[in-house]
Amino acid sequence: MAEFNTIRTAAGTRSAQVDAGLRAHMNKVYGTMSVGMLLTFAVAWAVGTSPALLSVFRNPATLQPNILGYIVMFAPLIMVFAFGAVLNRLSAAAAQLFFYTFAAVMGLSLSWIFMAFTGFSIWQVFLITSISFAGLSLWGYTTKKDISGWGSFLIMGLIGLIVASIVNIFLASSAIMFAISVIGVLIFAGLTAYDTQDIKNEYVAHAHHGDSEWLGKSAIMGALRLYLDFINMFMMLLHLFGSRE
């Protein structure tokens, strides 16, 4: 009986340690993501509200990108794939620096929105996105339902969305853009909940390994995943509800 109580106490202690570690891990994920978001919007606002700076990438009147503008437009996508490929060879500090560099480049790529949409509508949509994201992420974190099965469906939808978005850069169809935005909101809403649960489950599965370097890089990757969900949901909602200048 005493041996059973000892085992139960040890199990309870390990569980409490995992819970405390998970809270710290998620706080780091959300904290890193938030810093990245602030950096993105600071860069986007600084460049987007300055016709001289924006003209380096786009025509301030038509907002058509030049060669450098197209490079900046596709750079975040390339950096995401590169980050996944080299993550295992980076230290946690280097991974964090890469993420913040990515966030700054994303700010450059989004700077045009401050010329295309009214400032009020941008911040209004940002608030709507923030509330929606918080609710979806909280649900993904707390639900007892296993939503891991959503992953393959959402990734397939995301790939289709990326292809359609690239094609529409050249077609410039408002009907296709509307469809992309509606479907995109649904996909990134699902990904927000899915990614949150997956980040949580990934931590719990590796918590007993005690690999602080892996946990540090895992938090950065988790921040990147949720950051992308937020940014993309924001852009889809902005296309749907933003007021044009």
Length of the chain: 245
pLDDT value at 11 more than 80: no
Least trusted range by pLDDT, from 30-34, 62-66, 82-86, 110-114: 82-86
Alpha-carbon distance 8 to 96, whole Å? Answer: 39
* DSSP helix/strand/coil, 239: helix
Q: For 193, how many CA atoms within 13 A lie in the half-sphere containing its CB?
A: 20
- Concatenate the DSSP letters of all residues of 87-107 into one string: GGGS-HHHHHHHHHHHHHHHH
| Residue 199 and residue 29 in contact, taking contact as beta carbons nearer than 8 Å | yes
CA nearest neighbour of 83 among 98, 66, 68, 97: 98
CA dihedral for 75, 78, 84, 88, sign (positive or negative): negative
Per-residue pLDDT tens digits for 96-109: 999 999 999 999 99
Per-residue pLDDT tens digits for 185-237: 999 999 999 999 999 998 988 776 666 677 888 899 999 999 999 999 999 99
In Å, how far are 76, 185, 195, 201, 203 from 152, measured between CA atoms? 23, 17, 12, 17, 20
Confidence of residue 170 (pLDDT cuts 50, 70, 90): confident
Confidence of residue 13 (pLDDT cuts 50, 70, 90): very low
pLDDT of residue 126: 96
pLDDT of residue 61: 85
pTM recorded for the entire structure: 0.88
| Mean pLDDT to the nearest integer, 71-80 | 93
Alpha-carbon distance 224 to 126, whole Å? Answer: 18
Alpha-carbon distance 88 to 217, whole Å? Answer: 8
pLDDT of residue 243: 87
pLDDT of residue 4: 44
pLDDT value at 67 more than 50: yes
Alpha-carbon distance 137 to 190, whole Å? Answer: 10
Tell which phi-psi region holds residue 185, choosing left (phi > 0), alpha (psi between -120 and 50) or beta.
alpha
- Average pLDDT of the chain? 89
Share of the chain above pLDDT 90, in %: 71
| Mean pLDDT to the nearest integer, 143-164 | 93
Q: What is the 3-state secondary structure (H, E, C) of 13-58?
A: HHHHHHHHHHHHHHHHHHHHHHHHHHHHHHHHHHHHCCHHHHCCCE
Confidence of residue 16 (pLDDT cuts 50, 70, 90): low
pLDDT of residue 236: 96
Better-predicted residue by pLDDT, 209 or 41: 41
pLDDT of residue 9: 46
pLDDT value at 10 more than 50: no
Better-predicted residue by pLDDT, 84 or 106: 106
pLDDT value at 74 more than 60: yes
CB atoms within 10 A of CB 83: 18
pLDDT of residue 206: 77
